[in-house]
Structure 1
């Protein structure tokens, strides 16, 4: 089973870059997962954009803290099995779900979990205990399980990788928008990378215009961030899972500029 996972899509530049990449490459993959919490002008996701991502070939959309930025999405979350909010928000009164089981292009069931960290982020339920609890439930139906751990601290993400080694097929971090160079297969067969990186413009500060971000650091006053354009890049991973065991047998970083994608 060959899986494509794409890091945080930032605004229209990120969406356009993803669309072009999928037009040229989607037939190579059995399953495609993307983090879409920044797809709508850098903050949140709309139902229209979610449907658009599915039309382009995405199978599931994971998220993080920004999934709540567009209230119009709340009803969509309750109805969808393919757009996930972090699973460790309280179940009572929280729209949507934190995990799902879908089928890949070969008919294999694959479980997908969206989970959020707590270090330097909102204090919510324990992501470690919640992830293990959900994995035990998914294991009743399938051995293929991927986990998007949306977290700030690299230490927390690395710890999650080790904690879930042998329980999940693939554990990857999102949120920081900077791709790490530590992709590997852990001893018990779990593919891991600390952060996928982002899909969007490299001309700004993690996808936002420099001139809209710098004042925040210079005077600490509230600023309205704007999505950057130019020098677009897609970041993520390709992973192959053993169809007998569910273990990861290969993991490779993807980092392509828009120009490189155009000439693929």
Structure 2
């Protein structure tokens, strides 16, 4: 006969050296208070879908502008600047054309006009009046810098001050005259929209060196996206001979009034 009352089970010894697993609730039985069943295996999260690509190429932007590259002095890298601008803008804008600046052309897209050097001022003055943006190449040469300054004087005297203020100067630095190059940057920065420096050691321009011209291409591309200027009246003749500001070579190109 057992010494324990009915329904009482004798306590069994527990081996503390072995982990004790909590008892699972039987099917159909409520969980005991304070009892937390072991967590079930959580399935791995499915991988996130790749984020949509932000590098989708957009179609070239179409603008209608005439970009005139001009300097009345020869050997100013004018044609080189025009070709590099045409090559760089062709991938950014639709319907880009390179024009030699002779005669007339239809402005049905973005036109890069390589104006012929014209010391007498007939062609560049007529074509510059129809320009939306003036790009002025100036190497570190005193005569080229003086001619560019005179061109800006003439445009202002004939009513194109807007073209002067929005002009982009390409300061081409060959290393021949470093002090003159710094003076060109300082003087033309104060008068135009900005100066982009392009270094061409010894005056050598490689046709495949597009990275060197990228800052200029970006500057011109942003400029042609701006709203077109308002309609312009006919050019007027200056009332008197405009004052020519020369760059004195004895002072390495500092502006001096004659």
TM (norm. structure 1) is 0.35
- More strand by percentage: 1
- TM-score, normalising length from structure 2? 0.35
